[in-house]
Amino acid sequence: MLAQQRSPSLSPTSYVVLGLVAWMQPTTPYDLKRAASRTVGNFWAFPHTQLYTEPVRLAEAGLLTEQREETGRRRRLFSITDAGRAELAAWLAEPAGEPTEVRDHGLLQLFFSGHADPATTLAIARAQRAAHERRLEGYLATERSINTKRELPASRRGALFGNSTPRAAAMRQATLRFGQTFERGAVEFWRAIEEAPPDQADG
Amino acid sequence: MLAQQRSPSLSPTSYVVLGLVAWMQPTTPYDLKRAASRTVGNFWAFPHTQLYTEPVRLAEAGLLTEQREETGRRRRLFSITDAGRAELAAWLAEPAGEPTEVRDHGLLQLFFSGHADPATTLAIARAQRAAHERRLEGYLATERSINTKRELPASRRGALFGNSTPRAAAMRQATLRFGQTFERGAVEFWRAIEEAPPDQADG
DNA sequence: GGGTACATGTAATCAGTTACATGATTTA
DNA sequence: TAAATCATGTAACTGATTACATGTACCC
């Protein structure tokens, strides 16, 4: 029996897709899109087209299987294979050495806004605070909808939230709480910039 | 006189380079690399090769000028043009609508770690806490070095930190403080996961 | 004087993005 | 039945990354 060879070219996004399919299977690209947009999409964003192309690649690599619906739309339905599950497990067992890559557009602008006038800095801070407030509100809404979920009949639950163990659900909720904490901090930070724009380097 | 036409294809990274040159000019790719790695690189990372190719592109677009050193290494020295400054100002005046794109590898793994056993979750949390602690320590070191900077002769200051107004320096330090706050929060978050791994979704 | 770390780049590749486009379903 | 919106994709392009490679300075 040959050793399971790990394809070397799986990107983090590949693992997102793999993990999402493992969670939601059997599932269509569009369902993945919906699930991603309210969960992982918040800390690992990518365009929806990836959710159409990436599963195909993964299927070619034997990590997913694809079936076509017979009726009407003939959508693609993906499920994870044992090889896929092994690949996912191997990735999880190899914790990332490097931390967050934050890619914050607003901070970038703030960093360089010393080249412009104070009004520009203020505008940046306002825009960022608003954006983070919106996002925080979104997270809170997500949390509320998870709580109401418990009252839904099981048949409707799956389509919206997938099915999995309580532990898996707890992990997902932990990331949601991280997001809330982060957004609260961000709102505070930008509010402080608005109220007292930095002026002296040691202020 | 023709209107200054904004080239449509400047990426955020382009603006990073533009801004860094505005700050440090005249400057070489290597100096940019050093400056980026202790500042913007922390929330907008990219490989050093970008700092060799991007300035050339910007020079072609008329936003930077390039001169060659006469002696020894004949390094490229870049400075910003008026057009470049205008482009930078225009970018700053148009605050980003969308907030942070967090791209956190560790959170991604946590999100899916419900598919593995609790030991895996623990390992992820440990690795992440260590990574964030390292990064926090780095930020604190940066802050200390900024504080000692004031005692350096002006001639040495420039090479290490660039030259600019106190307001610009204050903006940069604000982003540093954001980083510290964020890292402290992250360390706390991962420590909590370590100590009490999520188990029930509403725990 | 040779090893090692710093410094400086080039070139090819490709994942990810952008742009486009059309089908299906709901709503008014 | 028209408009709007949701759903589903394809294809081209290119910025970013990876891999490679060499030069220069300093240290033992």
pLDDT band of residue B4 (cuts 50, 70, 90) is: very low
pTM over 0.85: yes
Six-digit token pair at B189? Answer: 């978050």
Instruction: Yes or no: say if B108 and A36 are a contact pair by the CB < 8 Å rule.
Output: no
Give the gap in angstroms from C-alpha B144 to the nearest C-alpha of chain A.
Answer: 12
Residues of A in contact with B132 (CB under 8 A): 99-100
Task: Specify the nucleotide whose C1' lies closest to residue A69 (CA).
Answer: D8
Question: Cα–Cα distance between B135 and B139 in angstroms, integer?
Answer: 6
The region of weakest confidence among A46-55, B20-29, B78-87, B142-151 is B142-151
pLDDT digits (tens, 9 = 90+) for B112-147: 999 899 999 999 999 999 999 999 999 999 898 887
Token digits of residue B140: 């604190």
Within 7 Å: CB of B34 and strand C?
Answer: yes
The nearest CA of chain B is from the CA of A71 a distance in Å of: 32
Q: Where are the alpha helices (DSSP H) in A41-199?
A: 50-60, 82-92, 105-112, 118-149, 154-161, 166-195
What's residue A3's pLDDT? 32
CB atoms within 10 A of CB A196: 9
Percent of chain B with pLDDT over 90: 61
CA of B8: nearest nucleotide by C1' is C18
* pLDDT digit string (tens) for chain A, length 203 residues: 333 344 457 899 999 999 999 999 889 999 999 999 989 999 898 999 999 999 998 998 899 998 876 665 667 899 999 999 999 999 999 887 777 778 899 999 999 999 899 999 999 999 999 999 999 999 999 898 887 766 655 555 554 455 678 889 999 999 999 999 999 999 999 999 999 888 765 54
Phi and psi at residue A48, to the nearest 5°? -65, -25
- Write the residue in A16, A103, A113 that is nearest to B100 by C-beta: A103
pLDDT band at B153 (very low <50, low <70, confident <90, very high): low
Residue B175 has pLDDT above 70, yes or no: yes
Find all residues with CB under 8 Å of B82, minimum gap 6, and list them.
Answer: none
Q: How far is B99 from chain A (nearest CA, A)?
A: 6
Mean pLDDT of chain B: 85
Mean pLDDT of B53-63: 91
Residues of A within 8 A of B40 (CB-CB) are 108, 111
pLDDT of A109 reads 95
Q: Is the Cβ pair A193, B174 closer than 8 Å?
A: yes
> Which of B68, B54, B92, B62 lies closest to B80, judged by CA?
B62
Q: Do B128 and A99 touch (CB under 8 A)?
A: yes
pLDDT at B3 (0 to 100): 32
pLDDT higher than threshold 60 for residue B202:
no
Minimum-distance residue to D14 (CA–C1'): B9
